[in-house]
Amino acid sequence: MAMYMAMEVYITKSMELNFKTFGQGPAIVILHGLFGSLDNWVTHARTLSENFSVYIVDQRNHGKSFHSPQWDYPTMAEDLNHFLDQHGIFQTHLLGHSMGGKTVMQFAIDHPQRIDKLMVIDIAPVDYEPHHDELLEALIHFDLKSIGSRQEADEQLGKKIKDPGVRQFLLKSLGRDEDKNFTWKFNLEVIYEKYPNVLKGIDTSFGYDGSTLFLYGEKSNYINPNNITEIQEDFTNAIFRKIPGAGHWVHADAPELFIREIQDFLQAS
């Protein structure tokens, strides 16, 4: 498990997170994963909004949120803490996928009193070996000035990234700047430089005993028998649910089963 130095995070108005909200009722805040954005979660947010106030949020260096050279889990957890203060949310359900899952776990350790139920999607609070190197190299050497359309961008990415699903996921974060030139919405330079911070585990020295769901894909190796034991030691009130046939993007691979598991967990006493 990772150890982080004690730190202070100063939040200014220019550092407020971009978000969308749906529905009324008890709050749920949803955080996306690496290279993602709140747009990945609109469909599920609308479904959950039948019974909840759902907030989908762009984490720093992603989507339409601010860019910053400071980027690690304690910092992103404090971004979330500020977001709750900003919107008058004392206690909330939290859901995070992958990088977002580590953010909500860090938040649960730091601010356990602010969580009702915690939902962690296909990630454990452990160190991971680098596994995005080819993707990062393809992005950092991709010449955005050479493309004139999204189709051209897909063709260029296809030379290095063979999986069309991964390319389409990345292209959702392709936007245009004020001069109408193509640009990435995520802060590629900081992500490239500080990628090791995403791989680090969470400091679980204090543990978390709140109600927690770990939901993971059958075809994913992010949660496995080796780290389930460690999770159980640190998250003492955790339950585990495996989604058949799903990979790391559980919510996209099996959306109906995914949302059913989330709703069942939220409705359980």
Which residue of the set 50, 137, 155, 189 is catalytic?
A: 189
Rounded to two decimals, the pTM is 0.93
Q: 109 in helix, strand or coil?
A: helix
Examine the pLDDT at 177 and tell me if it is beyond 50: yes
189 given a catalytic annotation: yes
Instruction: Report the pLDDT averaged over residues 204-227.
Output: 95
Could you read off the pLDDT of 40-61 as tens digits, one per residue?
999 999 999 999 999 999 999 9
CB within 8 Å of 98: residues ≥ 6 apart: 33, 34, 36, 121, 122, 123, 222, 248
Local structure of residue 34 (DSSP, 8 states): T
Higher pLDDT, 182 or 3: 182
Which residue of the set 37, 248, 251, 261 is catalytic?
A: 248
Give the per-residue pLDDT at 178.
87
Per-position b or e across 81-108, b if 16+ CB within 10 A of its CB: bbbbeeeeeeebbbbbbbbbbbbbbbbb
218 given a catalytic annotation: no
Could you read off the pLDDT of 99-108 as tens digits, one per residue?
999 999 999 9
Give the per-residue pLDDT at 14.
62
At 151, the pLDDT band (50, 70, 90 cuts) reads very high
How far apart CA 108 and CA 94 sit, in angstroms, is 9
211 given a catalytic annotation: no
DSSP strand pairing (115-121 vs 238-243): unpaired
Which residue of the set 37, 53, 65, 98 is catalytic?
A: 98
- Residues 13-127+200-267, CATH architecture: 3-Layer(aba) Sandwich (3.40)
- Domain chopping of the chain, boundaries: 13-127+200-267, 133-192
